[in-house]
């Protein structure tokens, strides 16, 4: 059975798909910005600077793709901060991620 769509329906469906794709890209850039901010924060606490700080922030963002959600980033930050002698709870790290997320929204001019 074939379904026929009017030109208006087809345009609307294409517009919806494009909007969802743009939203996904925006959320991805917000998340990337949040991760970079978190990386700079944690890296600074660990005494990193210059290129080392930039590399750490980039590495943290790459670590975000290990699993769905924030668990991978929180685990990485917790492990790295602990190894550097900064005892930070998972709740404190989650709160920091929320602050960095809010900052990333401002920086990118996006809203959720």
In a domain, 78, yes or no: yes
Q: What angle do CA 70, 71, 73 make, to 5 degrees?
A: 70
In a domain, 1, yes or no: no
In a domain, 57, yes or no: yes
The rounded distance, in Å, linking the Cα atoms of 35 and 61 is: 5
Which residues, 6+ apart, have CB-to-CB distance to 32 below 8 Å?
A: 61
In a domain, 51, yes or no: yes
Question: Domain total for the chain?
Answer: 1
Instruction: Report yes or no: 64 and 45 within 8 Å, Cβ to Cβ.
Output: no
The pLDDT tens digits of the residues spanning 18-72 come to 333 334 445 578 999 999 999 999 999 999 999 999 999 999 988 887 778 899 9
Residue 95 has pLDDT above 50, yes or no: yes
Q: What angle do CA 50, 28, 49 make, to 5 degrees?
A: 10
Report the pLDDT value the prediction gives residue 22, as an integer from 0 to 100.
39
> Residue 80 belongs to a domain with what CATH number?
1.10.790.20
In a domain, 97, yes or no: yes
Task: Classify burial at 25, counting beta carbons within 10 Å of its beta carbon; exposed 0-12, middle 13-18, buried 19 or more.
Answer: exposed
Report the pLDDT value the prediction gives residue 112, as an integer from 0 to 100.
60
Structure tokens at 22: 């743009």
């Amino acid at each position: 059975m074939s379904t026929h769509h009017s030109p208006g329906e087809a345009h609307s469906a294409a517009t919806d798909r494009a909007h969802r794709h743009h939203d996904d890209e925006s959320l991805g850039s917000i998340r990337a910005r949040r991760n970079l901010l978190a990386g700079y924060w944690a890296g600074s606490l660990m005494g990193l600077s210059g290129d080392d700080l930039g590399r750490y922030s980039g590495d943290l963002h790459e670590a975000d793709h290990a699993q769905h959600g924030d668990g991978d980033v929180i685990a990485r930050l917790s492990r790295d901060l602990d190894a550097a002698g900064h005892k930070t709870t998972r709740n404190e790290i989650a709160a920091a991620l929320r602050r960095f997320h809010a900052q990333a929204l401002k920086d990118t001019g996006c809203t959720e």
